Amino acid sequence: MGFKWDKKYLHWGVTAFLVAAAAILFYYFVFHNAQFLQIFKNIIDICFPIIDGLVIAFLLCPMINWFEKKVFVLFRKKEKRSEPLSERAFKWLRVLSIFLSYVIVITLLSAFIITVIPQVRLSIENIYHQSSQYKMNIENWIADLFAKNPDIEMWFMDSYENYAAQFTEWQNSFLLPKAQELLATVSTGVFNFVGALWDILIGAIVSIYVLYSKEKFSGQFKKMAYGFLSTKTANVLISNIRMVNNKFSGFIVGKILDSVIIGILCFVGCSIFGFDYPVLLGLIVGVTNVIPFFGPFIGAIPCILLLFMINPLQSLYFALFVFALQQFDGNVLGPAILGESTGISSFWVIFSITFFGGLWGVPGMIVGVPLFAVFYAIIKTVLVTKLTKKELPTETKKYVYVDYVNTETKEFVDLLPASELQAIEKERKHQMKEKRTKRINSLKKKEKSEQVTSDTADILNNSDIQTSDKTEDKKDS
C-alpha cells in the first residue's frame, strides 16, 4: 500500500512551520538584534564591491544614454535614424559609449587630483605654519575689542570664571578622549583607504558588465515580476521602480552637477575678492553643497572660522558672499538644473534631511530627499486612487476650508477661515450700522415732515380764525 500525500494537510503543515519560523526570527530580532545587525553588516561588507559597481553604473547611465541617443545618432543618415540598429552595431555602440564615459570621468578626476589636491595640500601646510600668527591676530583683535568695550570685557571675565571649571571638565572627559579616537581612526584610515580603492576598482569592473547588459537585466527582472506576481501587481511594481529611478537619477546627478558649478563659482569669486586659500574654500563649499538645504551653511562655517583667524573683516565679507551664492543657487541655478525632480515642498525637504541624516549621517542627508520623494509619490498615488474610487476630488486646495462632506450628495460644505469669518462679521456690523443710520435719518425726516405739517395746520387754523373774525366784523358793521 503506497503512501499518499494529503495536499490539504501538507499545506497547513508548511504554513505552521513558516509561522513558527517567523515568530522565532522576530523574537531573536527584537531581543538579540545586535547579532542580526552584525550579520547584516558582514553581508554588506562582503557585497560592498557589488554595491559600488551598481552605484557607479547608476551615475554613468545618463551619460551613456546621452552618447547613444544624442551624439552617435548624428553620424547616421537622417532617413535611417529612426530605424533600429543591428545587434552587432548596437554592441559596438554600447562598448564605445562606456569607453568614452569612463575616459571623461577618469580625465576629470585626474585633472582634479593634479590641479586641486596640490593646492589644497599647500593651503593646509600654510595654515599649519601660520597658526601662531593666526593665534596672535585673534589675541590682538580680542584685546582691542576689550580695550574699546570694557563692558564686554567684564561680561566675558564673569562668564569665564563661571564656566571655566565646566570647560576644563568637558576638555578632560570629552575632548581629549575624542582626539585620541581621532588619531586612532586616522592611523587605521590608510588601510581603510586602500581597501576602499580595491572595492572601487572591482566595482568599476562590475559596473562595466552592468552597463553593457542593462537591457538584459531589466528584461530578466520584468520576466520574474510577471512570472511570480499578478499582472496588475507587476505593472504597479515596475511603474514604481521606474519612478524611483527617475527621482534618484534626476536629483543625484543634477545635484552633483550643481555642486561642481557652485564650487567653481566660489573659487572664482574668492579669487576676485582676494580671499585667502580660494581653492580650499571653493572645494569645501562645493563638496558640502551636495547636501541639500544645509550644505552651504555646513561648508561656510569652517571657511568663515579659517578666514576669521586671518582677518575678522574678511570672514564677514566671505559670509555675505556665500549667502549671495546660496541665494543664486537656490533661486536660479538649482531650479534650472533640478527642476521639479523631487516634487516635495521645502518643509518636507528639511524633514527628510533631518530624519535620514539622524539615521545614516551624511549619506542619509544626501539620499534622504529623493528617498522621501519616492515615499511621498507612492503615498500620493495610493491616496489619489482611493479618492477616485470614492468619487471625491483629488486637488488639495478643495479640502483647505472643508467642514464636512455630505455622505449622500458628496457635496463639500466649507468652513470659512477665521480671517473670512472676521471679514463677514465686520461687513455684517457695517451693514447693521448703515441700516441703523438710515432708520434714524428716516425717523428724523418723518419727525421733520410731521412738524412741518403741524406748523402748516396751525397757520391754516390761524388764517381761518382771522377770516371768520373779519367776516363777523363786516356783519356787525
Residue 465: pLDDT band (50, 70, 90) is low
User: How far apart (Å, rounded) are the C-alpha atoms in residues 282 and 298?
Assistant: 13
Q: What is the pLDDT of residue 205?
A: 92
Grid-cell match 554595491, residue found:
51
- pTM value is 0.65
Residue 220: pLDDT band (50, 70, 90) is very high
User: How far apart (Å, rounded) are the C-alpha atoms in residues 187 and 335?
Assistant: 42
pLDDT top residue among 267 and 112? 267
- Please compute the mean of the pLDDT values over residues 113-127 and round it to a whole number: 79
User: How far apart (Å, rounded) are the C-alpha atoms in residues 285 and 266?
Assistant: 7
- CB–CB of 137/311 below 8 Å? yes
Q: What is the pLDDT of residue 428?
A: 72
Tens-place pLDDT, residues 91-116: 888 899 999 999 999 998 888 888 77
- CB–CB of 403/414 below 8 Å? yes
Q: What is the pLDDT of residue 1?
A: 45
354, burial (CB in 10 Å: exposed 0-12, middle 13-18, buried 19+)? middle
59, burial (CB in 10 Å: exposed 0-12, middle 13-18, buried 19+)? middle
pLDDT top residue among 106 and 137? 106
Per-chain mean pLDDT for the chain: 79
User: How far apart (Å, rounded) are the C-alpha atoms in residues 313 and 276?
Assistant: 13
